[in-house]
Chain A
Amino acid sequence: GENVEQHPSTLSVQEGDSAVIKCTYSDSASNYFPWYKQELGKRPQLIIDIRSNVGEKKDQRIAVTLNKTAKHFSLHITETQPEDSAVYFCAALTSGTYKYIFGTGTRLKVLA
C-alpha cells in the first residue's frame, strides 16, 4: 500500500542553525503535501503545505521543497529557536481520495 518514509526520526541542532527533514512518498498520484508540528501534549497543527504544481514554498523561517520526479519533499527551518522543538510530521494526499498518509515523525530538539 501507499506509504510515506520520513527521516531522520530525531534531530538535534544548535539554536540559530538550520534543520532539514525529508520525506519520500510512494504514490505518484499524490498531489498535496502538508507538514504538521506537534508540541508535547498538544494537537498536530499545520505549519506549511505544498501542492504538486509548485516546487518550493516559503513562509518566514520555514520552507518546503518538492521533487515530483524523485517523489520526495523536504521541510527546511532556518534560524532555529527553542520554541521550534517539537515533533514534525509530513503527509501526502492523493486527489480524489480521503487518505492522508503520514510519515513516522521527526523529533526536533533545538539546543539553546
Chain B
Amino acid sequence: DTEVTQTPKHLVMGMTNKKSLKCEQHMGHRAMYWYKQKAKKPPELMFVYSYEKLSINESVPSRFSPECPNSSLLNLHLHALQPEDSALYLCASSRNSGQGVSYTFGSGTRLTVV
C-alpha cells in the first residue's frame, strides 16, 4: 500500500458544527502532516506529527485540533470554523520528519464552511 487515504473527499459544514477529517496510511511512515491549500495558493503547513507526537503547530487557530491516535492515523477535528477556513485540506506522510524525505500526499478533503 503506497497511498495516503483521506476521508471525506468533500465536506460542507456550518459554523456551529463539529466535524473531523481523517487521514490514513499503511506505509510505516512515522511523520504525518496537515496542509491547507486555498485556491491558486501553495499548500501551507498546519501541523507535523513525528512518532505520534505533535512536533510543529504553525500557529493554527484552536478551532483546528489535530489528533494522532496511532502511527497510521491522523485526524483533524474542526469546531466553530469560519467561512474563510474553506479550503482543500491535504494530509501527507513521510518516512520520518527529517530533511531530505519526500512526502506522499492524500487527495485532500475539500471543505466548505457555510
State yes or no: do A and B come from one complex: no
Tell me the A residues contacting B by CB distance below 8 Å.
Answer: none
